[in-house]
Structure 1
Amino acid sequence: MRRLWKGLSSYTVIGVANTLIHWQIFFLLSVAAGLRQAISNLTAFCVAATFSFYMNALYTFDGRLSVGGYLLFMVAMGALSYGVGHAGDLWRLHGLLTVVMFSALSLVFGFLFSKYVVFRERDT
């Protein structure tokens, strides 16, 4: 079980910075610019995830950067981001609840997806 969550602490620290970036952009777009939550959440995710993908590649997953891995991560997690934002629009959730829900889902699913799909150890 310990091996499953190895790297979660550095992923979480980077995730805190990611969350601050994400939330600031989300609220700027949704409140100040009046955009829908789905678009605001997806745009904020793209900016914040680019930062965290690079930082996690360097500090959490031993520097295995690749364009394919980046695109895979962005598409999969971007779909989750848009879906949560869309649910927020449909259910007329407060924006804070939308980003809190996405942040929680992103921490768990993003870590597992990164560790076992995007940055998985390959046999040489």
Structure 2
Amino acid sequence: MARLWKGFSSYSVIGIANTVIHWQMFFVCRTAFELGQALSNFLAFCVAATFSFYLNALYTFAMPASLGRYLLFMSCMGGLALAVGWLADHLHLPGLVTVGVFSLLSLVCGFLLAKRIVFRERGQ
């Protein structure tokens, strides 16, 4: 079990910067451009995740960042960002709930996706 969570602390530190970027972009999209929560959450995710993807590739997983890995990660987690935003729009939830819920989900789901699939070591 401990092996599964190896690298989680580094991933979490990078995730703090990712979260700041994500939340700022989300609220800019919502207030300045008056976009819905689904699109705002997705666009904010794309900006923040691009930043953290490369840092995690270098420092957390010590593997090269490739276009294939990037697209796989962005597709899966981007779908989650759209789904959380869509649900928040549908339920008329405040934006703070949207980014809070997505931040928690993406921390755990994103780490497990990256560790087990995107940056999986050969032979695992």
- Report the TM range for the smaller structure's normalisation: over 0.9
- Tell whether 2:10 aligns with 1:10: yes
Q: TM-score, normalised by structure 2?
A: 0.97
In 2, Cα distance between equivalents of 1:86 and 1:60: 31
Shift of 1:64: 2.3
Calculate the aligned-residue CA RMSD, in Å: 0.7
- Tell whether 2:119 aligns with 1:119: yes
In 1, Cα distance between equivalents of 2:122 and 2:64: 11
2:94 is matched with which residue?
94
Conserved in 1, the CA contact under 8 Å of 2:11 and 2:111? yes
> For 1:42-81, what aligned pairs fall within 5 Å after superposition?
42-81=42-81
Gaps of 5+ in 1: none
In 2, Cα distance between equivalents of 1:58 and 1:98: 29
Give percent identity, aligned residues only: 63
Per-residue CA distance 1:78-113 (angstroms, 9 max, x = gap): 000000000010000000000000000000000000
Q: TM-score, normalised by structure 1?
A: 0.97
Paired residues in the alignment total 123
Runs of at least 4 residues of structure 1 off by over 4 A?
none
Whichever residue aligns with residue 34 of structure 1, its letter is E
